[in-house]
Amino acid sequence: MSPAAHVPVLLNEVIAGLAPRAGETHVDGTFGAGGYAKAILESGANVIAFDRDPDAIAEGTRLADGSGGRLTLVPERFSRMRQALCAQDVEQVDGVTLDIGVSSMQLDQATRGFSFQSDGPLDMRMSQQGESAADFVNTADEGAIADILYHYGEEPKSRRVARAIVAARPLERTGQLADIVRKALGHHAGMKKDPATRTFQAIRIHLNEELHELEGGLEAAEQVLKPGGRLAVVTFHSLEDRVVKRFLRERSGSVPAGSRHLPIAASGPAPTFEAVAKPVRAGATELAANPRARSATLRVARRTAASPWTKSQQGLPA
Ligand SMILES: C[S@@+](CC[C@H](N)C(=O)[O-])C[C@H]1O[C@@H](n2cnc3c(N)ncnc32)[C@H](O)[C@@H]1O
């Protein structure tokens, strides 16, 4: 079965926030099926689009070929956008957008191993490289599995699930893992949410280092956006949104900067983003048409002219 087309979430709101104009240059950090990139191109702006998934880049070739040189595809993590832009002699851009998480193509294709709803190999790697979900569940120790389920899946019974996973090794298929979690937690028809949801989310976030990438992507956006440049970030669960909210509150001067372990400076570095407007969520019409929009949150912010914060200004080792 061919995967369902990815329906971009909060598209009108993202484009309103980015306000792209002809001749500008925008970064789409998460190209996916190109929904945002296409809309930015329609404004007449140029787009440099990143995706760490080689399939997404390959699928986007036709759009790039028909763009008259205005769409450049980069098979790279968005946390490395500054280095990748430098390599193309681009120092600053007018907009950066990040649409965090997996695409419908990744989720719906059983062979990618992201879904507990269809059986496939336990993979879950966006970049199709490195440690797979099978490697992780078959080799990590029980405590490490439990910690990941607890922190990245907010699974309250993480120890019970980790024990069941270790007892059932070796695991090779998504269906096997889903059944083990359901048995460990109890599952009955009519349950609102499949009990395997949290475990699959946690393993995916861990393997793809998604929260770390998000932090790196926000810092990279701070470095590459020109004064007045716009940042738009769409997240799909509270763990991700917390990272974005914290970053923007700190960088707009709404909370003191620095580590909890350091004395708070009387006045922090100059804000790199203007005070942030309220988060945007999908309206009733979009919710009716696209269930994925249910948990989406968009935050938009405008870059000031201040220099990007250094590591020590962030309370981090240099
Ligand atoms: C939700 S989809 C984006 C959909 C896109 N906005 C559209 O309209 O079609 C997320 C995409 O971002 C990619 N991705 C996730 N994390 C990434 C990262 N750190 N660097 C680059 N691409 C990433 C995924 O491979 C996936 O294709």
How far apart are the CA of 163 and the centre of ligand 1, in A?
32
Q: What is the arithmetic mean of pLDDT over 178-200? A: 92
User: What average pLDDT does the structure give for the chain?
Assistant: 93
Q: Give strand ranges (E) for the chain.
A: 25-28, 46-50, 71-74, 93-99, 225-235, 297-302
**pLDDT score at 59:** 97
How far apart are the CA of 216 and the centre of ligand 1, in A?
15
Is ligand 1 within 6 A of the CB of residue 34?
Answer: yes
**pLDDT score at 245:** 96
**Does the pLDDT at position 173 exceed 60?**
yes
**pLDDT score at 188:** 81
Q: Which residues is 273 bridged to in the sheet?
A: 303
d(CA 190, CA 183): 16
Q: Are 304 and 273 in contact (CB under 8 A)?
A: yes
- Specify the 3-state DSSP secondary structure of 250: helix
The two structure tokens encoding residue 48: 């440099």
Atom of ligand 1 minimally distant from the CA of 36: 8
**pLDDT score at 296:** 97
How far apart are the CA of 30 and the centre of ligand 1, in A?
3
Is ligand 1 within 6 A of the CB of residue 39?
Answer: no
**pLDDT score at 190:** 78
* 254 or 200, greater pLDDT: 200
Atom of ligand 1 minimally distant from the CA of 56: 27
Which helix (H) or strand (E) is 208 found in, with range? none
Q: What is the arithmetic mean of pLDDT over 132-159? A: 98
**Does the pLDDT at position 18 exceed 70?**
yes
**pLDDT score at 149:** 98
* Nearest-CA residue for atom 12 of ligand 1: 30
pLDDT class of 267 with cuts at 50, 70, 90: low
Is ligand 1 within 6 A of the CB of residue 230?
Answer: no
The two structure tokens encoding residue 281: 């969520």
> What are the tens digits of pLDDT across the range 231-251?
999 999 999 999 999 999 999
Atom of ligand 1 minimally distant from the CA of 11: 8
How far apart are the CA of 102 and the centre of ligand 1, in A?
6
Residues present in the chain in total: 318
Is ligand 1 within 6 A of the CB of residue 113?
Answer: no
pTM of the model: 0.94
**pLDDT score at 191:** 82
**Does the pLDDT at position 76 exceed 80?**
yes
Atom of ligand 1 minimally distant from the CA of 34: 9
* 261 or 27, greater pLDDT: 27
The two structure tokens encoding residue 296: 């989406």
Mutate to test the pocket of ligand 1, among 13, 31, 77, 96 (most ligand atoms within 8 A of CB): 31
| Cα-trace Rg, the chain | 20
Q: What is the arithmetic mean of pLDDT over 158-175? A: 98
pLDDT class of 187 with cuts at 50, 70, 90: confident
Atom of ligand 1 minimally distant from the CA of 213: 19
Q: Are 152 and 232 in contact (CB under 8 A)?
A: no
Is ligand 1 within 6 A of the CB of residue 103?
Answer: yes
* Nearest-CA residue for atom 25 of ligand 1: 53
Q: What is the arithmetic mean of pLDDT over 72-93? A: 98
Picking from 214, 252, 251, the residue whose alpha carbon sits closest to that of residue 235 is 214
d(CA 262, CA 314): 10
